[in-house]
Amino acid sequence: MREAPIGVFDSGVGGLSVLAEIQRLLPDESLLYVADCGNIPYGEKTPEFIRHRCSVMAGFFQQQGAKALVLACNTATVAGVADLRRDYPEWPIVGMEPAVKPAAAATRSGVVGVLATTGTLQSAKFAALLDRFAADVRVLTQPCPGLVELIENGDLHSPALRQLLARYVEPLLGAGCDTIILGCTHYPFLKPLLKQMIPEDISLIDTGAAVARQLQRLLAERELLAEGPARAAQFWTSSDPEHFRNILPILWNTAGVVQSFKG
């Protein structure tokens, strides 16, 4: 069981930013990754639809014999993690949500910005997160339609992307934010561009590394940490495998075998 793989999924390539953190912290683990590119963007879908996709993904990873599941997607987590934990009570399941708590602790100006999908920002889970951790700070939320689609095409710095990003980030800076939460797993890929666009003293916070640490804790508690060596990561996409294959070397450290996901 220790050597069983870990299943990781997202609506697309965004979760690769989380997969990289998992691989960095847990290099002995074998990783399986599904990109549900045929249904992207989750951010504009209903919670019911996303819950259904979460359950399809969980069923697939169960069949693959995965010892743990990671929802490398904020939007899928707010919609679906509670149902998955109910349906698979024995399975270590790690979800993710925007880093409101660390951002509220870090801000000096008392103003925090959140870049995330419409689905995440509209969810009850996000509202609860604000109530719980952000009572003493001002939180400005910014949905970012269009960003995910550009990143899915491997675009991390075109003029069109820069223009769209500026439209989302400038109002936050204008309102005095000194801390910006990257609340969608696609956005960490934009950090190099964002750093060129914002003053040096603005912090960008995402939760990929924290997810990897939480996964490590859950596996250690259950004596499920692999001893290695890891098998090469395997990838599936519910859209065009050729497209995913071409994009993989841009967003992941190496080329990889990509299969078609039918589910």
Q: Which residues bind to ligand DGL, rule: CB under 6 A?
A: 10-12, 14, 40-43, 73-75, 117, 120, 148, 184-186
Specify whether 184 is catalytic: yes
Indicate the residue type of 33.
Y
Nearer Cβ to ligand DGL, position 8 or 32? Answer: 8
> What are the structure tokens assigned to 141, written together?
């939320």
> What are the structure tokens assigned to 58, written together?
């969980």
Indicate the residue type of 1.
M
> What are the structure tokens assigned to 109, written together?
């100006």
Nearer Cβ to ligand DGL, position 117 or 141? Answer: 117
CB of 206 to ligand DGL, least distance (A): 10
Given a contact cutoff of 8 angstroms between Cβ atoms, the answer to whether 7 and 57 are in contact is: yes
CB of 144 to ligand DGL, least distance (A): 9
CA distance 250 to 254: 8
Specify whether 177 is catalytic: no
Signed CA dihedral, 187, 29, 247, 235: sign only: negative
CA distance 45 to 156: 24
List the catalytic residue out of 54, 73, 144, 177: 73
List the catalytic residue out of 37, 54, 177, 184: 184
Nearer Cβ to ligand DGL, position 184 or 226? Answer: 184
Indicate the residue type of 203.
S
CB of 204 to ligand DGL, least distance (A): 15
Give the CA distances from residue 99 to residues 15, 55, 82, 104, in Å, rounded to whole numbers and listed in that order: 16, 25, 19, 9
Nearer Cβ to ligand DGL, position 72 or 226? Answer: 72
Q: Which residue is nearest to ligand DGL (CB)?
A: 43
Catalytic positions, written as ranges: 73, 184
